[in-house]
Amino acid sequence: MKKILIAIISSLVMFAVAHLAFNTQHATLMALIVFLVVLWTNEGLPLGVVSLLPIVLFPSFDILSTNATAINYSKSTIFLFLGGFMIAIATQKTNLHKYISNKLLTIFPSTPRGILFSLAITSAFLSSLISNSTTALLLIPIAMYLSDDLKFKVRLILVIAYGASIGGIVTPIGTPPNLILLGFMEQHGMQAIPFIKWILLTTPLAIAMLIMIPFVLSIGLTDVKLDNELEDRGVLDPEKKRLLYILGSLVVLLLVNSKIEPYYSGLGLNEKGILLSYGLLMFAPKIGFLSWDDTKKIPYEIIFLFGAGFSIAAAFSATGLAEEIANHLLSLSNLPAIVLILIVASLITFTTEITSNTALISIALPIIYSLSQTTQIDGTLIIFVATICASYAFMLPIATPPNAIAMSSGAVKVKDMAKYGFVFNILGILSITAVALLYWQYYL
């Protein structure tokens, strides 16, 4: 009860402060968001319960109607995760993750720091080719069984989630905000960023983050040992082999389906449909591995979490709070370029923590672009910075799909993610600002 009381007091303080600059409805929305974030962080209520509260709170405080709120819990993106969770459960049921983890241990250095760097690089590389959500769904079940040491296990899971976010920005197809940016640029008659040029722009930033994050996560792990005694880890029986072929075909299909504009248009298949189809294939007789009882293992609280994120984004838009924030930002247009980029990077990074990055960037790009029209900063540069920052939020599970998938493992607590994520948010903001001023502004 004490934790719930802290959330209520925090929300009342936010309402009092926000009401000084915003109207009552906007201040109420900000207070409700603080209430949810505090409960997510201090775990005063179960994650799934807190994630369902917007359906009750938003109509009660005249923010959104019940229907307008509830519809956000059935977005098509959610079914991508549903399919991914089914595949992950099949991987665990067949013990394929143990076989793959054994192969990883024979390829990469067997020290804790070596494994962390290896997983981060693997996750980032895959995320540059297929979606970061899919990468996290495929790799995290493997990381769960590399060690029985809980402290090490948490960092293994986090490094995969963070690596997926890092790699997602390397190509236009790595994460949805990148595609939203390209669509926005086309809509406003701006010259699109070619595929290869995008890679050249983002790779230095990704390399810097891939050095810093695994290094920080490896601090204090000198005495940790990898688990080498997992039963049946190294045996590839026919059942595992069949699932391995199925997963291989999934990766190939996702790669072939990916667009590489202007060179290759892909197959045109919907990635959400692909993941859900493969998830449902896990139930097919003589092909799949699951029965309906296995669906009890699906982390539905993570699905509710995404619904909450989409609901918050919808509330920002429906109440006009997004436009009101834009008006307040216009007063910053006379600031020096470095200060303005730092403010935009910080605002997007930390705002992403309380709503999905896809939803946020859809709202934020018009605001940030309008701001650039009153400054000397190039509009392409400032919206590119905002888009990258939307993927570099590491504190809360609602921020990015890989963060939420890390939470679905059951090993990571919100406070663990928040503790490391705050440090990485700051590192990300500083790195993005430095790269933007020293590199991007000359070549974008």
pLDDT in tens, 102-140: 666 666 677 888 889 988 988 888 787 667 877 888 788
Confidence of residue 277 (pLDDT cuts 50, 70, 90): very high
- Tens of pLDDT, residue by residue over 25-61, are 999 999 998 898 888 878 788 888 998 999 999 999 9
pTM exceeding the 0.95 threshold for the entire prediction? no
Question: What's the Rg (C-alpha) of the chain?
Answer: 22
* pLDDT tens for each residue of 188-234: 778 878 777 888 899 999 999 999 999 999 998 876 666 554 444 55
pLDDT number for residue 65: 94
Sequence ranges of the domains in the chain: 76-297
pLDDT surpasses 70 at 148: yes
pLDDT over 90 (residue 235): no
CA pair distance 92, 144, nearest whole angstrom: 10
